Amino acid sequence: MLRQFRQVDVFTTGPGLGNPLAVVLDASGLSPAEMQRFARWTNLSETTFVLPTDDPAADYAVRIFTPESELPFAGHPTLGTCHAWLEAGGRPRDTGRIVQLCAAGLIEIRRQGDGLAFGAPPLRRSGPVDEADLVAIAASLGIERTDIIDAAWADNGPGWVALLLRDAEAVLDVRPGAIAFDIGLVGLYPPGSPEAIEVRGLFPLNGMTVEDPVTGSLNASVAQWLLATGRIQAPYVASQGGAIGRAGRVEVSQADGRVFVGGRSLTLVSGTVNL
């Protein structure tokens, strides 16, 4: 069956500079096994499948798959899917916002400048990281334990451990070895810089360490952590991807007491897929 398909570059500053996402529009009738098989075939970090929903509070439902498993929530798939859904003619019930239903619940998305922004979901786990784990993490990153200024669990679906390093340059200098945790590295730029922080998202996969080009879920949880601890003020801009040749830009704001994470999306591939 031919289905509408998009490949979208998310949190991007230009074609090929953000994080790619595959989106299958109108995935009705596909089984979870078929979704997983196609996600493995695309071999992108995430592939999403848009479905109708009976929930009166939601405009559409989405299922999010990596090549290996399904995720309850992820940031760049949320924005990229919404971008593709709107581009394909989707009409939200409320012109001021779009509501997506995923396994993590209802996610509010707002138009922001020339892009979109999602409301950060609540953290599933927060608080301090065990000292023994921090020692092991530092060793796996090739840094000293004393290079970690602060650390916290920042888990909103993916199980991120967030580490604050000395500054943005220290973040870009890290050359990780084999890791055992999903790790978010954060460093502040000097006051007055165009970006407030540099972010890197690292995770283990099949015995290797993989770096995500731009990570919405990590930026959401990092924002909640840094804002709560008073280390940063919103609105601010985060950069990510520079260590691997990308130029991602994430715009963080606060509205109605909530954190919103936004950026620009571009459709690079549009057509149909036979599924």
Residue 54: the pLDDT is 95
Other CB atoms within 10 Å distance of the CB of residue 34? 13
Structural fold of domain 131-260: Diaminopimelate Epimerase; Chain A, domain 1 (3.10.310)
Task: List phi, psi (to 5°) of 173.
Answer: -80, -15
Residue 159: the pLDDT is 81
Taking CA atoms, 86 is separated from 95, 142, 233, 274, in Å, by 11, 44, 31, 22
Residue 27: the pLDDT is 98
Per-domain boundaries in the chain: 2-116+264-274, 131-260
Residue 200: the pLDDT is 98
pTM of the full predicted structure?
Answer: 0.93
Instruction: List CB contacts of 241: < 8 A, sequence separation 6 or more.
Output: 17, 18, 19, 213, 214, 247, 248
Residue 20: the pLDDT is 98
Domain 2-116+264-274 matches domain 131-260 at the CATH topology level: yes
Q: Which CATH number fits domain 2-116+264-274: 3.10.310.10, 1.10.1240.10, 3.90.1150.10, 3.40.50.150?
A: 3.10.310.10
Per-residue pLDDT of the chain (275 residues; tens, 9 = 90+): 999 999 999 999 999 999 999 999 999 999 999 999 999 999 999 999 999 999 999 999 999 999 999 998 899 999 999 999 999 999 999 988 999 999 989 999 999 989 999 999 888 889 999 999 999 999 999 999 999 999 999 988 778 999 999 999 999 999 999 999 999 999 999 999 999 999 999 999 888 999 999 999 999 999 999 999 999 999 999 999 999 999 999 999 998 889 999 999 999 999 999 99
DSSP secondary structure letters along 67-96? SS-EES--HHHHHHHHHHHHHTT---SBTT
The residues pairing with 251 across neighbouring beta strands, listed in sequence order, are: 237, 262
| 102-127: burial string, b at 16+ Cβ within 10 Å, e else | bebeebbbbbbeebbbbbbbebbebe
